[in-house]
Structure 1
Amino acid sequence: MRGGRTIGAGLTAVAVAVTAAVLAIGAGPADAAVGGSGPYPADYETSAGLPDHTVYRPQNLPAERLPVLVWGNGGCASNGTAQVNFLREIASHGFLAIANGAPNGSGSTTARMLTQSIDWAFAENARAGSRFYGRIDTSAVAVAGFSCGGLEAYAVSDDPRVTTTLIFSSGLLNDADDYQLRRLTKPIAYVIGGPSDIAYPNAIDDWGKLPSGLPAFMGNLDVGHGGTYDQANGGEFGRVAVLYLRWRLKGDTAAGTAFVGAGCGLCGGPWQVRQRNLSLGGTPPTTPPVSPPPTGGTAACTAAYTVQDQWNGGFVASVAVTAGGAALDGWRVTLALPAGASVTSVWSAVGSGTSGTVTMANAAYNGQLAPGRSTTFGFQGTGTGGGATATCAAA
């Protein structure tokens, strides 16, 4: 049971106040490390194809494809640079981060803007001539937000393309919204500002209502509702966000040790940790680098199957489809699943069948591939994902 609408109203009021303070002091403090601490110095830009958003990316795109983070700001403010240090830090570690709102914009946002960010990233990955053509990992998408932006993240967390959800200093305001918790199927993480965070009781209430078996992490750092976003590189919230995204979206199990087990990297320190159904299991996904088209071979396409995450009773897998020496107008992957495994949801492909031998055909936006180019799709299932095999053919 929640503390009532008074807490909810207070959360909204504080979110607006925090956002106003950020706007008053500017996009970020003078001591911020320009470009972030990661190996790929990053900054932000805008795109005519995605109005009212701010796109954070490495200035020079790395060889590996970029997982995607879409972000809702505190106060649902339409200012895409409200958490600039935090988001630039994430991008500097090889991610594409897209915030609601134009740089220093005004007004308010909606959850639909997060969906628009995902749509744009997927379209750019498939659009010949885009700097992101074939360079976005469409099987690795996180939706996240701070305070009111966290409520926006909840609202779209059931999008089948979303791999994981991150809730920062936020929680559902009313019990009537608990259906959003019941429909969660992908791993979730909460980063909260401790008992002094006005969102704390709402977040704790949400934690107690998560579906049984859902992989979940909660970290509380006693910094209050404002978090550490404005500190250099996003402070501790930035560091923890990068670790979580490296684990969930890049398969970095070393980063995952910060969250898993009684001896986790965040356990026993200033962070107060809660864990549910967490495991490092599965094989880290291998993200194929962008490379020149192959010069030989006759295979129309290849399919590389990877278990991204495995927990007791379920798993998430991705499949990288790569065109051979000729362009593809469509593709079809045949998966032989291990005994007892069953597909429950699919993203970036059209599935047929749920167990045994299943087929996955391209979606409308990712069927055309130039020679040597790749796309990915993913799915969640019950049982054990290890041992499946995948073959690809032109459609």
Structure 2
Amino acid sequence: MRRTLTRAALAAALSLGALVGAAALTPAVAAPGGSGPYPADYSTSSSLPNHTIYRPVNLPTERLPVVVWGNGACSADGTSAQNFLKEIASYGFLVIANGNPGGGGSSTSAMLTQSIDWAFAQNTDAGSPLRGRVDTSEVGVAGFSCGGLEAYAVANDPRVTTVGIFSSGLLNDADDYQLRRLNDPIVYVIGGSGDVAYPNAMDDWNKLPAGLPAFMGNLNVGHGGTYHETNGGQFGYVAQQWFRWQLKGDQQAGRTFAGTDCPLCSRGWQVQRKNLTLGTDPTPTPTPTPTPTVTPTPTPTPTRTPTPIPTAGPSACTATYTVANQWGGGFVADVRVSAGTAVNGWRVRLTLPGGAALTHAWNGRSTGTTGTVTVANAEWNGTLQAGQSATFGFQGTGTGAGATVSCEAA
């Protein structure tokens, strides 16, 4: 009964557009902003109507991961949280918000999908300044309040690699299927117990799939958050740190969430964590310098001469491959890894047909894009007992039929 009442209260607030008025969040004059190395501003595009596009004024040399955003109250004002969105973009991201600058009316979750589609199309458009500048392998979907519900709705898009829920939670138990289909790391940024969305967010937190990497941060600022503050305030700080970790591999930013200490606790946050592990990739905070290319790459010998799977006794693991969806220019495939004996890690070698290329994988860590590529387990699905299985998927270009897979214990 308590959950029903609190969710009904949130639904009423969303329908009235009373959670945070758009005008209260919109600075009077647009100007480049953000605390990152690439001051960012917003613009619009005739090829993406009803959206607002945030990006660095001067594009960095590295490609831009994508973050798409749904506004509070499902507002179609793409500048209702511009300080917050400029902050994210200033760290080298392409951020696209639902709605025109200062726009009216309501948005939908389909507009988030349109944002992703547009970003991918710009990356290959010969006439676009973003041609070849978009990292289509790294996409975050996020939103505030009603916009968080929009983010939930498209979180299962195979192109999405992380999800952000800001002061939001599902309105009904009947919608819990959206939690069960989550398969990418998720961050919750909530305004504390005084936030009208708090009970719903905590209920969702307790129902997340086992093994899903997740972070819950509560700051007692209420439902309005800190979006209107300089650089988006503390909510802006947490957002850019999360996306820098998840979409750029910035391990220093990752320590904000998965380190042995709790750096946010000294800022007044109440923190909960699930299944978060810092990787070993020493990638630094993104800068224009190309120094990461100096790091010697590992010897490719294992990929040229794979270790044969033992013929005696049961195989440590096996893999099965299925094309889940095929269209003119690409496909989505699923791979199931089954353990014959207990394993503490697995690695699948995937040989793609000629002309096919892997563009993005989820629930696994991919190496290579064409020919024979390798997908290793993620941090949360590598340990399998005999008879257990795990799955990963990927999106590719070309034709998926005819690929072959093999599995070995890591």
TM score, norm. by length of structure 2 = 0.74
Q: Report which of the two structures shows the higher radius of gyration computed on alpha carbons.
A: 2
Q: Which runs of 5+ in 1 are unaligned?
A: 292-303, 306-332, 368-375
Tell me if structure 2 keeps the 8 A contact 1:19–1:82.
Answer: no
Q: Distance in 2 between matches of 1:205 and 1:140?
A: 28
Tell me, in whole angstroms, the C-alpha distance in 2 between the residues paired with 1:254 and 1:19: 33
Q: Residue 67 of structure 2 corresponds to which residue in structure 1?
A: 69
Superposed displacement of residue 3, structure 1: 1.4
CA 1:341–1:91 in 2, change beyond 3 Å: closer, same or farther?
farther
Are positions 1:378 and 2:376 aligned together? Answer: no
Could you tell me which residue of structure 2 aligns to residue 216 of structure 1? 214
Q: How many residues align?
A: 339
Give the letter for the 1:218 counterpart.
Answer: M
**Aligned runs of 1:35-46 on 2, under 5 Å?**
35-46=33-44
Using the size of structure 1 for normalisation, the TM-score is: 0.76
Structure 2 partner of 1:186: 184
Q: Is the 8 A contact 1:217 1:275 kept in 2?
A: yes
8 Å CA contact 2:251, 2:283 repeated in 1:
no
Which structure is richer in relative contact order (CA contacts within 8 A, separation 6 or more)? Answer: 1
Instruction: Work out whether residues 193 and 224 of structure 1, in 8 Å CA contact, stay in contact via their aligned partners in 2.
Output: yes
In the TM superposition, what is the alpha-carbon distance from 1:27 to its structure 2 partner? 1.6
Partner Cα distance (1:235, 1:12) in 2 = 26
Task: Return the match for 1:167 from 165, 168, 179.
Answer: 165
Displacement of 1:266 in angstroms is: 1.4
Is the 2:167–2:197 Cα contact (8 Å) retained in structure 1?
yes
Provide the residue aligned with 1:57 in structure 2.
55
Runs (4 or more) in structure 1 with deviation over 4 Å come to 284-291, 333-355, 360-364, 388-395
Counterpart AA for 1:181: L
Distance 1:223 1:84, change over 3 A: same
Q: Is 2:2 aligned against 1:28?
A: no
The residue that corresponds to 1:83 in the other structure is 81
Change over 3 Å in CA distance of 1:167–1:342 after alignment to 2: farther
Amino acid at match of 2:139: V
Give 1:36 shift: 1.3
> Aligned pair in 2 of structure 1 residues 208, 60: CA closer, same or farther (>3 Å)?
same
Which amino acid in the other structure matches residue 124 of structure 2?
A: A
Aligned counterparts of 1:195 and 1:173: Cα–Cα separation in 2: 17
Q: Distance in 2 between matches of 1:242 and 1:106?
A: 27
* Alpha-carbon spacing, 1:9–1:254, altered in 2? closer, same or farther (3 Å): same
RMSD: 3.6
The letter for the 2-side match of 1:17 is A
Map 1:134-145; keep pairs closer than 5 Å: 134-145=132-143
Looking at structure 2, the residues matched to 127 and 334 of structure 1 have their Cα atoms a distance apart, in angstroms, of 35
1:235 alignment partner in structure 2? 233
Measured against aligned partners, the alpha-carbon deviations of 1:319-339 in whole angstroms (never above 9, x if no partner) come to xxxxxxxxxxxxxx9997997
1:279 corresponds in structure 2 to 277
Shift of 1:63: 0.2
**8 Å contact kept, 2:183–2:363:** no
Specify the SS of the correspondent of 2:188.
Answer: strand
Matched, 1:92 2:90: yes
1:17 aligned residue: 18
The separation in 2 between residues aligned to 1:210 and 1:29, in whole angstroms, is 40
Match of 1:3 in 2: 3
1:232 CA displacement: 0.6
Shift of 1:377: 1.8
1:31-81 CA-to-partner distances (Å, cap 9, x unmatched) read x98421111111000011111000001011100000110000000011000
Q: Relative to 1, partners in 2 of residues 1:353 and 1:152: Cα closer, same or farther, differing over 3 Å?
A: closer
For 2:350, which of 328, 352, 358 is the aligned residue?
Answer: 358
8 Å Cα contact 2:88-2:95 kept in structure 1: yes
Cα drift, residue 9 of structure 1 = 3.2
Deviation digits for residues 181-231 of structure 1, max 9, x if unmatched?
A: 001010000000000000000000000000000000000000000000000
> 1 CA distance for matches of 2:332 and 2:196?
42
Query: For structure 2, which runs of at least 5 residues remain unmatched after alignment?
Result: 291-296, 310-315, 338-347, 373-396, 399-410
Shift of 1:264: 2.7
Asked whether the equivalents of residues 251 and 278 of structure 2 are also in contact (C-alpha less than 8 Å), the reply is: yes
Cα gap change, 1:285 to 1:160, in 2 (>3 Å): farther
- The offset of 1:89, in angstroms, is 1.0
Q: 1:176 to 1:245 in 2, by over 3 A?
A: same
Identity of aligned residues (%): 56
Which residue in the other structure is 2:200 paired with? 202
How far off its partner does 1:343 sit?
A: 8.9
